[in-house]
Amino acid sequence: MVKIERSFPAPESLAVEAKKLSGSYSKPDVIEKLKADFHNKCYICELKDLQDPEVEHLLPHKNGKYPERKFDWNNLFWVCGHCNKVKNQEKYDEGIMDCCKQDPEMYINFELQARDVCVKAKDSGDQTAVLTASLIQEVFNIKNTGMRTYKSDMRFQELNKEMNVLYDNLEEMKRHPDSRIVLRKLKALLRRESKFAAFKRNYIRDNAQQFPQLLDYLV
């Protein structure tokens, strides 16, 4: 999860659809804007180029119980089907960090440790960070059904591949520290728009003494 810059004004269809009895919050203008703002990445797991994107409510509207949330542009997020289903638990109804208003990297550590994904709040007393970290940890590890096991494992494998690409390029930089090509590749890998950016950027911060020249790419 990384900081997202939500664009304004809100899609025009939201105001129109909010006046209807069975209005839709997923008209084409909403889809296009969310896809662009979120770089076609799931805001929770950061899988990119989604094949199963969904429009998710950060604060659930509970089938119309909270109508003010249903068409609120600030409450709509771009998510994959797997993460949306995992988040659809009562414990995640309230208190998940709004990554359009806060920078998750300031509050949460994202690490790939050997064969484990480890996502933890930097401050165990920060309940928003703790709950958000728990959600992200769960989408990579939930295995209570066959399909969820497959989807969790797939996300882990994709994360592992992307981290290996980062590691390979870091080794290449050590061999050729003045290579502009390698630096361009690393800059692209560390952009918030890239897949699993939070994990890659966290790795650079944790190894800042080795890669001080890359810290500017994390701004």
> Which residues pair with residue 119 across a beta bridge?
110
What pLDDT shows up at residue 36?
A: 98
Q: What is the mean pLDDT of residues 30-59?
A: 96
Q: How confident is the model at residue 205 (pLDDT cuts 50, 70, 90)?
A: very high
Look at residue 52 and tell me whether its pLDDT is greater than 90. Answer: no
Global confidence as pTM: 0.95
What pLDDT shows up at residue 64?
A: 74
Distances (CA, A) of 119 to 18, 30, 73, 173, 184: 37, 30, 28, 27, 28
What pLDDT shows up at residue 51?
A: 87
Look at residue 148 and tell me whether its pLDDT is greater than 80. Answer: yes
Q: How confident is the model at residue 48 (pLDDT cuts 50, 70, 90)?
A: very high
Biggest CA-to-CA distance, the chain = 63
What pLDDT shows up at residue 132?
A: 98
Look at residue 65 and tell me whether its pLDDT is greater than 90. Answer: no
| Nearest Cα residue to 217 out of 186, 173, 196, 177 | 186
Q: How confident is the model at residue 115 (pLDDT cuts 50, 70, 90)?
A: confident
Look at residue 88 and tell me whether its pLDDT is greater than 90. Answer: yes
Residue 198, helix vs strand vs coil: helix
